[in-house]
Structure 1
Amino acid sequence: MNPMSPHDIATVPGALSPVFVPAPPPAESSILPVLGVPVTDVTMEHALGLLQNMLYEQPRRAHSVYFVNTHTLNNACDNPAYRAVLQSADRVFGDGTGVRWASRILHGVTLKDNVNGTDLVPLMFQRWANQGLRYFLLGNTPERIEIAARRAQEMFPGWTLAGYHTGYLGPDDHAKVIEKINASGADLMLVGMGNPKQEQWIHDHLDQLTVPLCLATGGLFDYWVGDLVRAPRWVRKLGYEWLHLLSRQPHKAGRYLIGNPKFLGRIVRSWLFRHDRRHDRIRHP
């Protein structure tokens, strides 16, 4: 998909501002199972097209979009119920070196792109700016989500902040938060609670939500607050951003130093027993 041009924009009668007319992405996208989770193999541009079509799909409904890395997939292996949540998503994208290794080992395919939320979300805000779209942020502590919301307004002036709420919810809070989200008129919701909590929350409440796009974005708000800094581009291209994150968050050493070998062992086992080849390269529109 090419970047949006003025010809991709039309005025809807009665609207206060122009909106995108969805341009269909390429007809098919490959779905590569990785440890039982269906990963969509597309470029970043194609991913934007898929999200855009969800945004304007009629009749309007909420869509779930998740990003999986080695830690996420290890969680899915340890918790079949969580794997079922990932399997139920409208789209799952592969994030990081581990998923790329897995696709090569299991399917002999190099993923077209590293479609991670940290890069995709800002790109989406940039491409869809000044179209009258609204977003809602859910996650983190009350103080930090307020800072993240303020930073988002500074970084993405072509959008309207519809609202935000902490991700620390008690048993009686969910209904009120859902009511607040729906009343905000948000077109996009970013949920940053960490996994598996964020995907589980979206899954559990998707039928009650009216936001077309619900993205689980992990630590994205931590970058906006300033607690995390992206690795240099050359480090990311080499696939070693996880080392940069480890240096910034040494308390997560077990996730990488134990989790990565465990993930590789699971991938090799899946390759030996052909667990992920039974539906190799499923094609989806």
Structure 2
Amino acid sequence: MNRPSTNIMNVPFSKLTFVETLDHLSEMLEQKNSGSRPYHLITANPEIVMKYQTDSELRTIMDEADLITPDGSGIVLASRWQGDPIAERVTGCDLLTGLLEEGNGRGWSFYFLGADENTSRLAVDKITTQYSRVRIAGRHHGFFPADEEKAIVAEISAARPDVLVVALGAPAAEKWIYRNKQQLNAKLALGVGGSLDIIAGKVKRAPLIWQHLHLEWLHRLLSQPSRWRRQLILPVFAMKTLMEGRRRARS
């Protein structure tokens, strides 16, 4: 399948729509052997793009990723400023929901790693209720000491899930997947940020009207004022991508 992409600050973003991305992943999951290293999907927002510029470990991980999707309106806007537009966001939360819906019909297995113990348990209970034909290969909370990591990797490897869902936050999830991907025995591995918190009902996602207006970031900031320091990166990202867009237009 042809997967067009566009570069934003040297990060190659997929231009596939949400439906096209889900179709691509579904086809891959049906064909891939679970014994090989997982297909590594990264959903990246402007904050991750900015970290890519200074974090050499993250840069290596993203350069070697199988697919990077635009998780954030800022990425979509930047692509338009640079004259190579991405049609829409493809977020980790939406992809997880789509994979669960598709997996419910195909009997895929999922392993969930991340969030606190109560949130992990509640999220998986809700998933089991809503997607009764999805197979739960296992789960583990995300607050484990470093000396337990090998045991968790071994548990995932033995479970051989079709989809490994890692909710350790970004870029911690991406680094964890990359560090252990040779031993995971999963077909697909992806970081999903705080999606388990949303599924569990611990955090509410922005209403659709805020999402359609590209203001989900503002809703999140108003709901969680402690995020304001992280949001300071957004104007820097906007300025850099605007300047890059103007440079490309002149050339």
Match of 2:13 among 39, 47, 53: 39
Match of 1:50 among 15, 24, 28: 24
Residue in 2 aligned with 1:118?
93
User: Greater helix share, 1 or 2?
Assistant: 2
CA–CA separation in structure 1 for the residues paired with 2:214 and 2:182: 37
Match of 1:223 among 193, 198, 206: 198
Deviation of residue 78 (structure 1)?
2.8
1:90-132 deviations in whole A, cap 9, x for unaligned? 11100121001111122x1331221111112112211231322
Runs of 4+ off more than 4 Å: none
Farther off after superposition, 68-77 or 53-62: 53-62
1:211 partner amino acid? A
TM-score for both structures, normalised by structure 1: 0.81
CA–CA separation in structure 2 for the residues paired with 1:225 and 1:238: 25
Residue in 2 aligned with 1:89?
65
Unaligned runs of 5+ in 1: 1-26, 278-285
CA–CA separation in structure 2 for the residues paired with 1:138 and 1:121: 13
Residue in 1 aligned with 2:79?
103
Farther off after superposition, 58-67 or 96-105: 58-67
Unaligned runs of 5+ in 2: none
Counterpart check, 1:69 vs 2:48 = no
Name which one, 1 or 2, has greater alpha-carbon Rg.
1
- Taking only aligned residues, the RMSD between alpha carbons, in angstroms, comes to 1.8
Match of 1:171 among 143, 146, 160: 146
Residue in 1 aligned with 2:188?
213
Q: Secondary structure at the match of 1:130?
A: helix
Deviation of residue 270 (structure 1)?
3.5
1:203 partner amino acid? Y
TM-score for both structures, normalised by structure 2: 0.92
Residue in 1 aligned with 2:136?
161
Q: Secondary structure at the match of 2:189?
A: strand
CA contact (8 A) 1:36 1:83 kept: no
CA–CA separation in structure 2 for the residues paired with 1:167 and 1:84: 24
Match of 1:183 among 151, 158, 162: 158
